[in-house]
Amino acid sequence: MLYGNSWMAITGKPLAATAGSMIFQQGGNAVDAACAMLAATCTMWDTLSWGGETQALIYNPKTKRVIAINAMGVAPTGATAAFFKNKGYNFPPEYGPLAATTPGTPGGLIFMLHQYGTMSLAQVLAPAMKMAAGYPIEAQAANTIERQKALIKQWPYSTKVLLPHKGAAREAPEGGEVFVQSDLLATLTKMVDAEKAALKKGGSRKEALMAAYDRFYKGDIAREFVRGSREQGGLITMADLANWKPVEEEALVTDYKGIEVFKLKQWTQGPVLLQALNILENFDLKAMGYNSPPYIHTVYQAMNLAFADRDFYYGDSYKTPIEPMQGLLSKAYAKQRASLIDPERNNIKIGPGDPYQFQNQTNPYLTLLKIRGFEADTSKRNFAPKHDLGALPPDESYQDRLWRGTTSIEAADKEGWVVSVTPSGGWLPACIAGNTGIGMSQRMQSFVIDSALNPFNVVEPGKRPRVTLSPSLFLKDGKPYLSAAVQGGDTQDQNLLQFFLNVVEFGMPVQKASEAPNFNSNQLWLSLGGTRAADREPKPGQILLNSQTPTATREALKKKGYILSFAERTSGPINAIWFDWKHRTLWGGSSNHGEDYGIAW
């Protein structure tokens, strides 16, 4: 357990947590520190880069409200379903310039700093800029570059940055080698220079921040980004960058036994957690016992019901058609969905429900649901999410897939600010946009091009894909109770659900809860990986269990129709802060499933 009473900074890499601690020690608040950690993780390629996307939940102690930050990029000009169908894809590509949405992280960082931070961009970016000038790269990132070098070599600007020993036996940096990113340093310097120039002209702090923002999205940085993207076959235009903006929005919320649970809107998978909790309120989970066969079965079924709705009904809340969120999040709908759970058998036919009747509307997609059908033949549904491939037996590449994904950032301070961020995009192997040093997002792959799969998430220019990224904030008695996030694609809200139940139902301290064995369902459509429908299809009944699962539990689950696989680690690294109001202290948890790290004072 990590304890503090002044501030706490937790994220995906020790050096990035150190960046957050530096900002706290200079007098910054939790938003300032979170921005510094975001900048550092992007610079360290901690499963993301500067061209990716950022989304956050922030508790504002002045208003006592939870704020949602949407800094998800959008599909560029020309990115239509017909465009990708003509190229033979069932989904937009996994890698390369055509996988890129517009960059959201620079704008999201500046927006959070502008609205709720206290420092300048120069102060917050200082640690990241020092790292771009050269820092000792971790073996994990360095080895990922080496493993992926064949893909990286397709893109000249990526090759220049990521393969400094081109032609040698090992072309990537070695672990511990000083890794220099001159182009990225120049880009960050331009942003800071724009801020300084505005201040010198008498501009306010906020005006200066917007000058940096404009240089990235409308100025010379944007021009080079677009040139480099389009040279390599990308679609992003200057207008795409100039027209995109981060958005502050209302978070979605449900109540679970007196605890308010806040998630981002349906352009993420976050409402899955809310739906699953609404379903599970109808069961006595504590009486079942932690990770008992009835508990695993009930939670697995609840997750499948929620994910079936996610797969069909979630999409960009700013585009039509409008998602039926009132019905999806209603307690009455959850009760109906809970009634579908057979305590003795896994339901391989779970599909989307009809939430429209719970908001006094007629479902316009009943015909589409019939066309889509739901394949009950498990021999035709044989895809496991990437981090589960090779689970029998686990090997080094499996562990790497398990730990990789998204990073997470948790920050809190004594004034009461709390920040939970799950940034991602531009992960290795990334296509770098020209001489900017910025790896482009790969989030286009989370769109569909067939409306029968999800009529709300069909790719079109200016639209956000429905993403897996999913920070969480929890309030109790109107005060922060818990802040948590985890990396791991489609497993994020599976793991966060179990983590939350570990704390609330089974009384685990936050560190124990973050390390406790989880289980994963693959009975869902995969959001990432592969360009064919066969690559993404659900695998009903497949469950990834922890290797410590007792024999009796294994046998009981087999009798319920489950297909078992095992691994020593069954969760991405969960990062969390629990608020002890009795002693007015912060309790930090960070599982040992990755390189995630926390520092407090």
> If you average pLDDT over residues 375-380, what whole number do you get?
36
Q: Over the stretch 199-240, which tens digit does the pLDDT of each residue have?
A: 999 999 999 999 999 999 999 999 999 999 999 999 999 999
pLDDT at 283 over 80: yes
- In the prediction, which pLDDT does 387 show? 36
pLDDT band at 593 (very low <50, low <70, confident <90, very high): confident
Compute the CA torsion angle 173, 177, 180, 184 (nearest 10 deg): 70
Q: What is the mean pLDDT of the chain?
A: 93
For residues 558 and 345, the answer to whether their CB atoms sit within 8 Å is no
pLDDT at 380 over 90: no
Lowest mean pLDDT among 238-247, 255-264, 530-539: 530-539
pLDDT at 386 over 50: no
Length of the chain: 601
- In the prediction, which pLDDT does 405 show? 58
Bridge partners (DSSP) listed for residue 593: none
537 contact partners, CB below 8 Å, separation of at least 6: 375, 380, 381, 382, 383, 525, 526
pLDDT higher for 397 or 198? 198
Q: Over the stretch 294-351, which tens digit does the pLDDT of each residue have?
A: 999 999 999 999 999 999 999 999 999 999 999 999 999 999 999 999 999 999 989 9
pLDDT at 393 over 90: no
- In the prediction, which pLDDT does 373 show? 64
Q: Over the stretch 60-76, which tens digit does the pLDDT of each residue have?
A: 999 999 999 999 999 99
Q: Over the stretch 85-140, which tens digit does the pLDDT of each residue have?
A: 999 999 999 999 999 999 999 999 999 999 999 999 999 999 999 999 999 999 98
Select from 94, 57, 1 the least CA-distant residue to 496.
57
- CA distances to 8, 354, 518, 569 from 398, in Å: 31, 37, 17, 10
Element (H, E) at 405: none
- In the prediction, which pLDDT does 400 show? 44
pLDDT at 399 over 50: no
> If you average pLDDT over residues 237-262, what whole number do you get?
98
> If you average pLDDT over residues 507-511, what whole number do you get?
97
DSSP state of 458: B
- In the prediction, which pLDDT does 369 show? 87
**234 token code pair:** 């990308």
pLDDT at 397 over 60: no
Q: At what angle do helices 182-200 and 220-231 cross, to 10 degrees?
A: 150
pLDDT band at 377 (very low <50, low <70, confident <90, very high): very low
- CA distances to 142, 380, 397 from 147, in Å: 9, 31, 10
- In the prediction, which pLDDT does 32 show? 98
218-229 residues labelled b (16+ CB within 10 A) or e (exposed):
ebebbebbbbbb
Q: Over the stretch 5-33, which tens digit does the pLDDT of each residue have?
A: 999 999 999 999 999 999 999 999 999 99
CATH 3.60.20.40 domain range(s) in the chain: 249-406+450-600
Which CATH entry fits the domain spanning 249-406+450-600: 2.60.40.1930, 3.40.309.10, 3.60.20.40, 3.40.47.10?
Answer: 3.60.20.40
Interatomic CA distance for residues 342 and 387, integer angstroms = 28
- In the prediction, which pLDDT does 374 show? 46
> If you average pLDDT over residues 140-162, what whole number do you get?
96
pLDDT at 271 over 80: yes
pLDDT at 484 over 80: yes
